[in-house]
A and B are shown apart, each in its own frame.
Chain A
C-alpha cells in the first residue's frame, strides 16, 4: 500500500522559530510537493522537487525553503515562523508524469499553529 508520511499531525510554534516539516514516501516517486491548505483558497503549491537536490518554487514560496537530500524525503523549512503561516501543510508525491500513472498521493497533513 502506497504511503506518504508526515512527521507530525499537529505543531505549535512561536513566532520567529525555525520550523521543520518532514515528509517521507515509500513509492520511489521522482516528484514531491509541499502544499498549503487554507479555507476558501484550496491547495496552493509552495515548492516542489523532481529529483534529489533539485527544487523549484511554486506559487507561494516566500518565507519557506525546502531540502531533498534523499529521494524518499522532502523537508519544508519555515526560516522564521510568522502567524500568517498558521495553516494546514500537505506533502504529496507522484511519478514524473509519463507511463499513464499520474496520481498524486498525499500525506495526512500537518496542522501548524504559530503563536
Chain B
C-alpha cells in the first residue's frame, strides 16, 4: 500500500507554462512534505519542502500548496523552462519517527521549447 499517491505519471508543458503535480497522503502523523527533483543519471535532490503548519511555500518559480484537511499537497512550477525537465517526487515523513521518507511514484516532466 503506497503511503503517498502522486499524479500525473508524466506531464508535457510548453515553455513558459505552469506545471502542476499533485500528491495525496493518508497518514495524518506525517509532518514534513518535501519535493525532490531528479535528473537522468543523478540521485534525487531536495527542491522545496513544507511543514503542515503553513498552507503555501514559495521559492522562486516553485510553490508548494498544502491542504491539511484534504490531505493533499501540490507542486506548481511557474514559467516552466526546458531545464526543469526532470522527474519529480513528492515525499512525506514523520520527523520523530527516524525521519523515514515515503515517496510518491514520480512525475516525468517534459518542458517543450
Binding site for B on A (CB under 8 A): 4, 31, 33, 35, 40-45, 48, 50, 56, 58, 90, 92, 94-98, 102-104, 106-109
The count of chain B contact residues (Cβ–Cβ below 8 Å) is 28
Which of chain B's residues have a CB closer than 8 A to the CB of A33? 100-101
Q: Looking at chain B's contact residues, is the secondary structure mostly helix, strand, loop, or mixed?
A: loop
Partner of B46, one of A4, A45, A103: A103
Binding site for A on B (CB under 8 A): 2, 6, 9, 32, 34, 36, 41-46, 49, 89, 93-106
When C-beta atoms are compared, the residue in chain A nearest to B97 turns out to be A97
Query: A94 to B43, Cβ gap below 8 A?
Result: no
Query: A108 to B46, Cβ gap below 8 A?
Result: no
Which of chain A's residues have a CB closer than 8 A to the CB of B45? 106
Question: Provided the pairs A97-B93, A102-B93, A107-B43 are in contact, do residues A45 and B102 lie with their beta carbons within 8 angstroms?
Answer: yes
Question: Provided the pairs A96-B98, A98-B95 are in contact, do residues A43 and B41 lie with their beta carbons within 8 angstroms?
Answer: no
Question: Provided the pairs A4-B43, A90-B43, A102-B49 are in contact, do residues A43 and B103 lie with their beta carbons within 8 angstroms?
Answer: yes
Q: How far is the CB of B9 from chain A (nearest CB, A)?
A: 7
Which of chain A's residues have a CB closer than 8 A to the CB of B44? 43, 90, 106
